[in-house]
Structure 1
Amino acid sequence: MKVRWLPALLVLLIVAVTVRLGFWQRDRAHQKEALQAHITQFEQAPVRHLGAQPFTLQEIEFHRVRATGQFMPDKVVYLDNRPYRDQPGFYVVMPFRLTQGGDVLVNRGWLPRNASERTTIAPYLTPSGEIEIEGIARADASRAFELGQGGSAAHQLIRQNLDVSAYASETGLPLQPFVIQQSSDTHDGLVRDWPAPNTGVERNYGYMFQWWGIAFAAIVLGLYAARRSAKKPPAPHV
């Protein structure tokens, strides 16, 4: 059987690339499974108390935390396009001045959006004076799709996203490099029915099987094409 080297090399290249991509997606799935195990472990771990000492995001993310201090309502930011049970609304993100020094951003909860006037903020309560809050340390206050800078420009009350370091530079506040996703009830009228962290491991396994399916299809089609080519009678010599 005469082998056509160029098509054969093309098939081998496709198989090699798609098999490698399948293994890459498998490795990503394993990494996310390990992260999910850490999240579950941190949920059962003792609460970590926040003070003046800064934490790194790597050592505090997904841990339960407790903080004592007072909210800074004059620097509140409302994150737009955060639906809850198919109802549009905002996340209320507010700096919290720690009693022992320093500040931390707190995602206080969800607030419904006015149906007729999207920039109208519904009333809610902000505790005055020193209080204690609990929550989960997260890298940010959630992220929504954003074209360009969108609503994240400085000095806007309503924004699409909020970067912790950029907001620290904007306000001059000595912020911890994470956001507390508040879980404790402060009787403020905000909804704190937070979605469970989703690492998307099922999607990675789905991509893995897709890539390996493409590799298998390339092998089958390559063998089929080679078999048809071998069955063709040789061209008659003139």
Structure 2
Amino acid sequence: MKWLRRPSWFALLLTVAGALLFIRLGVWQLHRADEKEQILRRYATAETAAASDFAAVAANPPVDAFARVNVQGEYLADRLYLLDNPRHDQRGGVEVYAPFRPRNGDRLLLVDLGFLPGNGTDQAPQLPPLPTGAQDLHGLYVPAPGVGFEMGGNALARQTRWPKTTVYLDLPQVATDLGGALYPQVLTLDADPSSIYVREHTIDFSAMPPARHRAYAFQWFTFAVAALVILLVLHRRRPSRPGKP
């Protein structure tokens, strides 16, 4: 190719290494998009599946599926936890969790009662009392919301009255606060038209949905192409000026 000067080994290796890195990152983003879409499909399938007995999956929930279960037991009265960072509406509000003692269970189950919309103020919404006596609950047995980076330490330990408020739901902290062991996942209750709680549960990928992963993949692939183009442009032979050999 007469129009192209031979690049140095350093420039060639740098370009190839950079292009391969960008391609690798793009492929990884595509894999993440596929993984999240598979999770969303499994979640949608679980919502319409027949309920199984909670005891069958309580201690060892399936790693490749979401279990829909039914469980009998009683709520612990006056031990509510308010998750203060859900994104259900712009007026604020809280996701409400209650400890539940399954019949014949060896530990407590944290139940996601649903989202309680706010009123546009900093005050927590008015909480309805928990039902008393034996209860028969139905819902999905799913991992607790992610913890993320928690500043300020354990907020539950500094509160002396229930309901207690937190911006992260950390199951070990809740277990310590209750003074007893918890099952490794939480129960999100099925929707109930008669309930004051909003129960529109889904896997929260709002910060990084599959479509955004694919957009980032496109960017990385574009960077790989750009690296090759830059190499070619920088080593393109300039046309000879008239009168010069």
TM-score range, shorter chain: 0.7 to 0.9
State the alpha-carbon separation in 2 of the partners of residues 103 and 4 from structure 1.
66
Counterpart position of 1:166: 173
Structure 2 runs not aligned, ≥5 long: 241-245
Quote how far apart the aligned CAs of 1:94 are.
Answer: 0.6
Distance 2:83 2:229 in 1: 51
Offset of residue 18 of structure 1: 0.5
1:10-21 → structure 2 map (5 Å cutoff): 10-21=14-25
Q: CA deviation at 1:211?
A: 0.6
| Structure 2 residue corresponding to 1:154, chosen from 132, 153, 157 | 157
Taking every aligned residue pair, what percent have the same amino acid on both sides?
27
User: Of 108, 126, 130, which residue of structure 1 is paired with 2:130?
Assistant: 126
The alignment partner of 1:97 has SS state of strand
Counterpart residue identity of residue 162, structure 1: L
**1:212 aligned onto 2:217:** no
Alignment of 1:32-51 (within 5 A): 32-51=36-55
**Conservation of the 8 A alpha-carbon contact between 1:60 and 1:137:** no
Q: Distance in 2 between matches of 1:39 and 1:52?
A: 19
* Change over 3 Å in CA distance of 1:192–1:150 after alignment to 2: farther
Are 1:112 and 2:114 an aligned pair?
A: no
The equivalences for 1:1-238 within 5 A come to: 1-51=5-55, 54-59=58-63, 62-101=66-105, 102-116=107-121, 118-140=122-144, 142-143=145-146, 147-149=150-152, 152-154=155-157, 156=159, 157-185=164-192, 187-195=194-202, 198=205, 200-227=209-236, 230-231=237-238
Q: Using the TM superposition, give the Cα deviation of residue 52 of structure 1 relative to its aligned residue in structure 2, in angstroms.
A: 8.7
Provide closer, same or farther for how the CA distance between residues 232 and 4 of structure 1 changes in structure 2, counting only shifts above 3 A.
Answer: farther
Contact 2:94 2:124 in 1 (8 A): no
What does residue 236 of structure 1 align with? none
Matched length: 230
Equivalent residue of 2:104, what SS?
coil
Pick closer, same or farther for the CA change 1:151–1:158 going to 2, 3 Å: farther
For 2:7, the aligned partner's letter is V
Q: Deviations over 1:99-138 (max 9, x none)?
A: 222321011011233544x244413131111111111112
1:9 CA drift (Å): 2.3
The amino acid that maps onto 2:52 is: R
1:128-160 Cα deviation digits (max 9, x unpaired) = 1111111111211x3476551467442531111
Contact 1:70 1:128 in 2 (8 A): yes
- Alignment partners' CA distance in 2, 1:60 and 1:48: 16
- RMSD value over aligned CA atoms? 2.9
In the alignment, the residues of structure 1 paired with residue 229 and residue 79 of structure 2 have an alpha-carbon distance, to the nearest angstrom, of 62
Cα contact 2:142–2:186 (8 A) shared by 1: yes
Q: Tell me by how many angstroms 1:188 deviates.
A: 4.8
TM-score (norm 2): 0.80
How does the TM-score come out when normalised to structure 1? Answer: 0.82
